Amino acid sequence: MVDRANKPKTLSSTPSLPPQASVTFSEDNSRVTAELPTGESVEVLLYGATVLSWKDAAGDEKLWLSEAAKLDGSRAVRGGIPVVFPVFGTAPDHPQTKSLPQHGFARTSRWEFLGKSTSESMVGRAANELTVKLDFGLSSAAPGLDPTAAASWPFKFNLIYSVTLNRESLTTSIVATNDGAAPFDCQVLMHTYLRVKDITTVEITGLANAPYHDKVDAANPSKTQPASGPLTISAETDRVYTPVEDAVTVTEGGKPKFRVTRDNLSNVVVWNPWTEKAQGIADFAPKDGFRQMLCVEPGAVGAWQSVEGGDAFEGAQTITLLD
């Protein structure tokens, strides 16, 4: 065989794409799990579009979920990140939402999974990070809508809820669009249960000088957080803050643990049921679990958000790991 003088060199292999996130469904299609190639993961229950789990690369859980939480669609999930819409708590004096159950119907409806986006398909900064975004939808015409909602809140709406995971943070965002002609009022909140090791060693900063409504002290509900010193938890706490700063930092044992940043959400609810209240909550388990959890809940609940026909309300939180 004669050698060819201009024999072509061996073709180099086509560069492979970097590893991307994987998205899987549970066998019964009730949950969606996304995992980055580096090990970080998030799990979302379609019932309520509730984030059930968020783990770092080492597999350490960052959210608290009650051991007695109902995950079968029979009631709202106790723990994780439930979505509150269109009312926070109950509002018996508000004409549009007075008939709705506590915290509305978003957390008790089955959402539709709309798809995923990964860093491969994203632009800008996200394209250079390991990122996965899961989108969920709920509308006034959706088959999974809580049946009480249509009768109690007869507005045409469309909700898009996105859960974005990267190596150091988790972002949850919502867009609530009014698809009808009549304006509606709404409140939005991300009811985030953060997992801590010992609530007695936790300090919360970023609330200095913030006015707040104390839901535990009915006789003196209107207060202001002192300018100096962090907030600590040593009893039942249920407060609706209107912070001056955009971010709240949770420190445990003197070490920064979480930073919760808000986008177009003017309020932060800080909640821990403590001993007596936890005993009275049927799906709160273990009963001393309040020692391992802290709710820091960004929301727009201090006032009603009026959404005109064709307009939308948008809000988001980003929880960044600091330890």
Least Cα distance to 35 among 57, 17, 18 occurs for: 57
- Tens digit of pLDDT for each residue in 99-148? 999 999 999 999 999 999 987 555 555 555 799 999 999 999 999 999 98
125 annotated ligand-binding residue: no
Residue the block writes with tokens 């009915």: 218
Q: Please, which residues bridge with residue 204 across strands?
A: 231, 250
Contacts of residues 227-231 at CB distance under 8 Å and 24 or more positions apart, as own/partner, are: 230/203, 230/204, 230/205, 231/203, 231/204, 231/205, 231/207, 231/270
Residue 150, pLDDT score: 81
Residue 149, pLDDT score: 87
Residue 123, pLDDT score: 54
Give the separation between CA 102 and CA 290, rounded to whole angstroms: 21
> For the chain, which residues make up each domain, given as ranges?
22-196+263-283+294-321
Residue 10, pLDDT score: 41
Phi, psi of 260 (to 5 degrees): -110, 115
pLDDT band at 16 (very low <50, low <70, confident <90, very high): low
Least Cα distance to 86 among 286, 300, 319 occurs for: 300
For residue 280, what is the DSSP state? T
Residue 12, pLDDT score: 41
Cβ atoms within 10 A of the Cβ of 47, count? Answer: 22
Q: What is the mean pLDDT of the chain?
A: 93
Least Cα distance to 204 among 175, 224, 229, 223 occurs for: 229
Least Cα distance to 207 among 238, 256, 249 occurs for: 249
Cβ atoms within 10 A of the Cβ of 56, count? Answer: 16
Residue 151, pLDDT score: 86
Residue 8, pLDDT score: 43
Give the separation between CA 124 and CA 317, rounded to whole angstroms: 20
Residue 122, pLDDT score: 54
Residues marked active site are found at 191, 297
How many angstroms from the chain centroid is the CA of residue 301?
A: 15
Helix, strand and coil in the chain, % to nearest 5: 10, 45, 50
Residue 120, pLDDT score: 57
31 annotated ligand-binding residue: no
- Strands lying side by side in the sheet with 41-45: 22-25, 31-35, 41-45, 50-55
Strands 267-272 and 293-307, bridge-based pairing: antiparallel
Asked if CATH classification 2.70.98.10 holds for the domain at 22-196+263-283+294-321, the reply, yes or no, is yes
Give the separation between CA 21 and CA 185, rounded to whole angstroms: 37
Query: 89: Cβ–Cβ under 8 A, 6 or more apart, which residues?
Result: 102, 103
Tell me the mean pLDDT in the region 239-259.
97
Tell me the mean pLDDT in the region 152-179.
97
Q: How many CA atoms lie within 13 A of 111 on its CB side?
A: 30
Would the pLDDT of 256 be above 60?
Answer: yes
Would the pLDDT of 308 be above 60?
Answer: yes
Would the pLDDT of 14 be above 50?
Answer: no
pLDDT band at 194 (very low <50, low <70, confident <90, very high): very high
Query: 315: Cβ–Cβ under 8 A, 6 or more apart, which residues?
Result: 173, 174, 188, 262, 263, 264, 265, 298, 299, 300
Least Cα distance to 267 among 234, 301, 238 occurs for: 301
